[in-house]
Amino acid sequence: MKKKITIAIDAMGGENSPDKTIEGVSLFLKENTNNKDFHILLYGDETKINSRLKKFKISSNEVKVIHTNSIVSDDETPLTAIKNSKDTSMWKCINSQTVGETDISLSAGNTGVLLVISRMILKMMNKVSKPALAGLWPNEKGMNVVLDLGANIECNENNLVDFAELGSALYKSLYPNDKPRVSLLNVGSEEIKGTDLLKKTFKKLENLSNENNFLFNGYIEGNQIMKGDSNVIITDGFTGNVALKTAEGTAKFITDNLKKSLNYISLLFSFFSLQNFKKKLDPRKYNGAIFLGLNGPVVKSHGSTDALGFYYSIDLCYKIIKGNLMTEIKNNLNHLESE
């Protein structure tokens, strides 16, 4: 019998938790009523969680609740959190992987603390120089993986090459039939463009490019991120963070202006079209950044997302474990040695 996919969820992290986390779980259970290959573990305040399980009509044999006494607050720094965090929902949710109980951990709590605690508990994989935070980004043909989104604000060429292997493994776990095309973010697409660091990384990725791990697609510029010609986009955490947030800000600016421009009549007649538009670009669909390069995957949900957004991050956890993320990562890291 195949082992079930076991997802550890920090039920307490993020705004409006555990309401939104448990509602997110109920959405996931409804979507997967005929699907029994997974198991969900909820970490947090037992009393609060149980009352929400009741509210959302989740029976006690569908999930397992593990009581913890405290939570990591949003304004806590990694330093204080480490001292005080061993009985928090976040710590136990991640620690569950080291005792072999769970395959993946999900939290909507404090990002800084989550990254530090995850690294402390799960430890970096042998062949990885730095772990990275990868995000999903919509494009014209489907979906990109972009990394690093801010875990490492300064990177060398080995870090960027590792990101290419990690990101490609993530992409393959989500789309097992695709060969990921990797691009390096730059200020121009010609080989002479960019910093020395990017030129060195370019050479290394060119040498590593193959049919089994990833195909290197060269440089791309910011305006090509959403074109869909690349599947995995590599950059340092500073640039990736600025690019992601600039895209979020631009999207907000445009949709806010669109709302202001539409009058009552036009809203009435374009209601369904606009609903489709909104649905397609709903940022909740891409909720969940994946912390890669540790001996176990950790998914960070946006703190401010709602139950639907949290549902998508549970779904992401389920999919990447079903797609054998950790095996894909190990294969890709072996490939590194061929360089």
Instruction: Work out how close the CB of 208 gets to a second copy at its nearest, in angstroms, rounded to a whole number.
Output: 24
Smaller CB distance to a second copy: residue 42 or 225? Answer: 225
Work out the angle between the directed axes of helices 157-174 and 196-208 (0-180°, nearest 10).
50
Of 111 and 332, nearer to a second copy (C-beta) is 111
Beta carbon nearer to a second copy, 124 or 251: 251
User: Rounded to an integer, what distance in angstroms lies between the CA atom of residue 321 and that of residue 170?
Assistant: 10
Q: Residues in the site for a second copy, rule: CB under 8 A?
A: 138-140, 150, 153-154, 185, 187, 194-195, 221-227, 235, 237-239, 241-258, 261-263, 265-274, 276-277, 280-281
In the complex, least distance from residue 131 CB atom to a second copy, rounded to whole angstroms: 16
Q: How far is the CB of 304 from a second copy (least distance, A)?
A: 12
Q: For the purposes of burial, counting CB atoms within 10 Å of the CB of 330, is it exposed (0-12), middle (13-18) or buried (19 or more)?
A: middle
**CB nearer a second copy, residue 122 or residue 151:** 151
> Using an 8 Å Cβ cutoff, are 146 and 239 in contact?
no
Residue 6 CA, chain-centre distance (Å), reads 17
Choice between 41 and 132, CB closer to a second copy: 132
Kindly state the DSSP code that residue 305 receives in the 8-state scheme: -
Pairing of strands 289-292, 298-300: antiparallel
Burial of 145 (0-12, 13-18, 19+ CB in 10 A): buried
Helices vs. strands in the chain: H and E counts, helices first:
12, 11
